[in-house]
Chains A and B, each alone.
Chain A
């Protein structure tokens, strides 16, 4: 009797300690993330907010300057140019990308198409190319001189050479093309996955009801794809707001106004002009912009979702 009681007790105790053990293991297993994030994620973010209110060139003492840095950035025309550039390139790069993505996905999903996997691989291939490589290759294609590839091709159609890298639209078109080329295949495949998830019965039912192709797209495809469309808009928006590599490689360190983006502006302030205060202020402003655009995105998505 006494014996059973003690075994019961030990069992209880061991089960209790089992649970604590499990909790401890749990904490240990997730701790690397939190430790690393604290050092390389959270602390830098807090420090950014601190730096945004300081004047500091990297050397010497920091000096508290209140909102001065924000005033500078917000009254800096180049900052606004960088913001409008970013938004323009977002529109130029993202919308065609998503549109063509849907069209290509639809084509790939069409029945009776042979060599589907070849097309899939070919269209997806640009995504495997690194951003730097894309920017270099397209940078050379968009050479402003007569012998630049794009200018030569335009020449076949009787168009005069365009000075891509210095004209207001030229730079933006060149950079948006780089973004478009690298991402269109990726979005195509995502849409394709979405299309394939739509049950065939829906189309068959529509077919019986005598729906046209357009009606099928309008009433079946688009609504069913909606969550995926929202997702791609969301990710490509965030990607576009962080545009950096393509403009840096293409316009180089002249940071010409035609192609400067917000992240490039931030980079220039910090690592070229060594004004860490205004650079941090710019980072905070970018953060706020991303939050606002994301909220709009989520809001609109919810609205449509209903």
Chain B
């Protein structure tokens, strides 16, 4: 009898856990599903009581409207350019700096590393206005450089790379290479880089997501449609004097889908990277 109650108890609590997870998953996915529903419905179907809950037939029309309203592909292209270039740049610069901090001896090393850590504490808004002025003096307004070059500053990346390199690149290997007369850069390139590929993957995902989703800074320095990233361009959809929710959500949906697909394909790596980065720091 007691065994039975225990198993009952277990199944009830199990049921409860399942219910919780199902509801949470539903609430997590529903807005994305609804975005798709709206993207395929006419504005009037959205603005009615009750609104549409199943996909409609306006998929193509809505997206055509998006393309007529904003330069969707151009903005996706710009976003890809800034995200990819900034990510590659950060991978290179941060691993190089991290390598130097982990394996080289030079004066003031600890102080400089500490200084880098301190910069992580400063909220980015503090220098926002002068940053804008600098960018305009450099004549970089409406230029993707304005996103890419400041995007190369990544204190976390250096920290992350240093930690990874210190614990994963054996000192013996580095010393052996030195004895063999390898140049410092070759040691980095031939010995460190192959070992730190997993750290690259993690940093790349974090950085790419960050730049891809960034909004405030691009909003300030990109004012011309031809230079918009997708996030700034999406805002153009809701800024229109004419509200067409079907069109708005169509643009938003199609701008979200690529990242979702990549996430679904690489979900393990994604989840691990994005959370590991947070925990380790």
Report which A residues bind B (CB closer than 8 A).
18-19, 21-23, 25-27, 29-30, 32-34, 36-37, 39-41, 43-45, 47-48, 51, 100, 103-104, 107-108, 110, 112-113, 117-134, 136-141, 145-147, 149, 152, 155, 181, 185-186, 189-190, 193-194, 228, 231-232, 235, 238, 241-242, 244-245, 249, 252, 263, 266-267, 270-271, 276, 279-280, 283-284, 286-287, 290, 294
Say whether B49 contacts A146, CB under 8 Å: yes
Residues of A contacting B130 in the complex (Cβ-Cβ under 8 angstroms)? 43-45, 47-48, 51
> Total number of A-B contacts with CB less than 8 angstroms?
265
Say whether A136 contacts B119, CB under 8 Å: no
Say whether B249 contacts A137, CB under 8 Å: yes
| A276 to B127 CA separation, bound complex (whole angstroms) | 12
Residues of A contacting B21 in the complex (Cβ-Cβ under 8 angstroms)? 104, 107-108, 113, 119, 123
| A244 to B218 CA separation, bound complex (whole angstroms) | 13
Q: Is there a chain A Cβ closer than 8 Å to B51's Cβ?
A: yes
| A131 to B128 CA separation, bound complex (whole angstroms) | 20
Residues of A contacting B124 in the complex (Cβ-Cβ under 8 angstroms)? 242
| A173 to B47 CA separation, bound complex (whole angstroms) | 22
CB distance from B279 to the nearest CB of A (A): 6
* Contact residues of B between 36 and 74, Cβ < 8 Å to A: 38, 46-51
Residues of B contacting A294 in the complex (Cβ-Cβ under 8 angstroms)? 121
Report which residue of A19, A37, A280 has the largest number of chain B beta carbons within 10 angstroms of its beta carbon.
A37
Contact code string B227-247 (vs A, CB < 8 Å = 1, else 0)? 000110011011000000100
Residues of A contacting B267 in the complex (Cβ-Cβ under 8 angstroms)? 117, 120-121, 124
Which of A30, A36, A244, A270 is within 8 Å of B152, CB to CB? Answer: A36
| A33 to B48 CA separation, bound complex (whole angstroms) | 54
Residues of A contacting B129 in the complex (Cβ-Cβ under 8 angstroms)? 44, 48, 51, 270, 276, 279-280, 283
Residues of B contacting A241 in the complex (Cβ-Cβ under 8 angstroms)? 123
Residues of A contacting B274 in the complex (Cβ-Cβ under 8 angstroms)? 127, 186, 189
Residues of A contacting B24 in the complex (Cβ-Cβ under 8 angstroms)? 100, 104, 119, 122-123
* Contact residues of B between 134 and 150, Cβ < 8 Å to A: 134, 149-150
CB distance from A82 to the nearest CB of B (A): 13
Say whether A147 contacts B49, CB under 8 Å: yes
Which of A39, A125, A131 is within 8 Å of B29, CB to CB? Answer: A125
Chain B, Cβ-Cβ closest to A115: B21
Say whether A19 contacts B184, CB under 8 Å: no
Say whether B220 contacts A185, CB under 8 Å: no
Say whether A47 contacts B127, CB under 8 Å: yes
Say whether B17 contacts A21, CB under 8 Å: no
7 contacts across the A-B interface (CB closer than 8 A): A33-B94, A44-B126, A110-B14, A185-B28, A189-B275, A241-B123, A242-B125
Say whether A19 contacts B149, CB under 8 Å: no
Say whether A133 contacts B153, CB under 8 Å: no
Q: Is there a chain A Cβ closer than 8 Å to B101's Cβ?
A: yes
Report if A228-B49 is in contact (Cβ < 8 Å); known contacts: A141-B34, A241-B123: no
CB distance from B249 to the nearest CB of A (A): 7
Which of A23, A104, A134 is within 8 Å of B104, CB to CB? Answer: A23
Say whether B35 contacts A130, CB under 8 Å: no
Say whether B25 contacts A123, CB under 8 Å: yes
Say whether A29 contacts B100, CB under 8 Å: yes
Say whether B93 contacts A32, CB under 8 Å: yes
Q: Is there a chain A Cβ closer than 8 Å to B112's Cβ?
A: yes
Residues of A contacting B264 in the complex (Cβ-Cβ under 8 angstroms)? 121
Residues of A contacting B158 in the complex (Cβ-Cβ under 8 angstroms)? 30, 33
Say whether A45 contacts B122, CB under 8 Å: yes
Say whether B18 contacts A113, CB under 8 Å: yes
Residues of A contacting B17 in the complex (Cβ-Cβ under 8 angstroms)? 107, 110, 113
Residues of B contacting A127 in the complex (Cβ-Cβ under 8 angstroms)? 274
Residues of B contacting A36 in the complex (Cβ-Cβ under 8 angstroms)? 149-150, 152-153
Say whether B153 contacts A287, CB under 8 Å: no
